[in-house]
Structure 1
Amino acid sequence: MSVALHPIEEATMANPYSEIFKVPGTKGFASAGFVARMPMAMAPIGIVAMLSQTHGEYWLAGAVSATYALTNAVAAPQISRFVDRLGQTRVVVPTTLISVLAFAALMAAANQDWPIWTLFVSAFLAAAMPSIPAMVRARWSEIFRDRPELNTAFAFESAADELVYIAGASLSVGLSVALFPEAGMLASTLFLAFGSAAFIMQRATEPRVRQLELGGSQGSAIRQRPVQIITFALIFVGAIFATAEVSAVAITKDLGQPGAASLVIGVYAVGSFVVGLIVGALNLKMPLQRQLAIAVGIIALTTLPLLIANTVPLLALAVFVSGVAISPTFITAFGLIERRVPEAMLTEGITWVMTGIGIGMALGAFATGWVVDNFGAQNGFWVSVAAGTVSLLTVLLGQKTLAGERYRVASPAPVPQAAE
Structure 2
Amino acid sequence: MSNPYKQIFAAPGAKGFSAAGFFARLPIAMAPIGIVAMLSQAHGEYWLAGAVSATYALTNAVISPQISRAVDRLGQTAVVVPTTIVSVLAFIALIAATNQNWPVWTLFASAFLAAAMPSIPALMRARWTELFRNRPELNTAFAFESAADELVYIAGASLSVGLAVALFPEAGMMVSTAFLALGTAAFIVQRGTEPKVRHVAGAAAVGSAIRQRPVQIITLALIFVGAIFATAEVSVVAITKELGQPNAASLVIGVYALGSFLVGLTLGALNLRIPLHRQLLIAVAILALTSLPLLVAGSSVTLLAVAVFVSGIAISPTFITAFGLIERRVPESVLTEGVTWVMTGIGIGMALGAFVTGWVVDSYGPQSGFWVSAAAGAATVLIIALGQRTLSGECTGGEDCAMLEPAQ
State the TM-score, normalized to the length of structure 1. 0.92
- Post-superposition, which runs of at least 4 consecutive aligned residues in structure 1 deviate over 6 A? none
2:308 aligned partner:
319
Aligned residues: 395
2:385 aligned partner:
396
Report the secondary structure of 2:205's partner residue: coil
Q: How does 1:156-305 map to 2 (within 5 A)?
A: 156-214=144-202, 217-305=205-293
Shift in Å, 1:176: 1.2
Shift in Å, 1:215: 7.5
Shift in Å, 1:249: 1.0
1:151 aligned partner:
139
Alignment identity in percent? 78
Q: How does 1:124-135 map to 2 (within 5 A)?
A: 124-135=112-123
Matched, 1:378 2:388: no
Shift in Å, 1:77: 0.3
CA contact (8 A) 1:341 1:406 kept: no
2:295 aligned partner:
307
1:63 aligned partner:
51
CA contact (8 A) 1:36 1:191 kept: yes
Shift in Å, 1:54: 1.5
Structure 2 Cα separation of the partners of residues 190 and 313 of structure 1:
38
Letter in 2 for 1:260: A
Deviations 1:7-52 (A, max 9, x none): xxxxxx1111011011110011111100100100011111111111
Shift in Å, 1:315: 1.0
Report the secondary structure of 1:217's partner residue: helix
Shift in Å, 1:211: 2.0
1:335 aligned partner:
324
Kindly tell me: are residues 215 and 45 of structure 1, through their superposed partners in 2, closer, same or farther at Cα, counting changes over 3 Å?
A: closer
2:18 aligned partner:
30
Q: Unaligned regions of 5+ residues in structure 1, if any?
A: 1-12, 408-420
Kindly tell me: are residues 215 and 166 of structure 1, through their superposed partners in 2, closer, same or farther at Cα, counting changes over 3 Å?
A: closer
2:3 aligned partner:
15
CA contact (8 A) 1:342 1:406 kept: no
Kindly tell me: are residues 404 and 35 of structure 1, through their superposed partners in 2, closer, same or farther at Cα, counting changes over 3 Å?
A: same
Letter in 1 for 2:328: R
Letter in 1 for 2:379: V
Structure 1 Cα separation of the partners of residues 165 and 207 of structure 2:
46
CA contact (8 A) 2:389 2:395 kept: no
Structure 2 Cα separation of the partners of residues 388 and 43 of structure 1:
28
Matched, 1:356 2:353: no
Structure 1 Cα separation of the partners of residues 353 and 391 of structure 2:
26
Letter in 2 for 1:115: P
CA contact (8 A) 2:128 2:141 kept: yes
State the TM-score, normalized to the length of structure 2. 0.95
Q: Which moved more, 1:53-62 or 1:117-126?
A: 53-62
CA contact (8 A) 2:203 2:333 kept: no
CA contact (8 A) 1:340 1:406 kept: no
Q: Which moved more, 1:310-319 or 1:215-224?
A: 215-224
1:418 aligned partner:
none
Deviations 1:78-136 (A, max 9, x none): 00000000000000000000000000111111111111111100000000000010000
CA contact (8 A) 1:233 1:395 kept: yes
Kindly tell me: are residues 405 and 94 of structure 1, through their superposed partners in 2, closer, same or farther at Cα, counting changes over 3 Å?
A: farther
Shift in Å, 1:217: 3.3
CA contact (8 A) 1:237 1:388 kept: yes
Q: Unaligned regions of 5+ residues in structure 2, if any?
A: 397-408
Shift in Å, 1:245: 0.7
Letter in 2 for 1:284: L
1:9 aligned partner:
none
1:6 aligned partner:
none
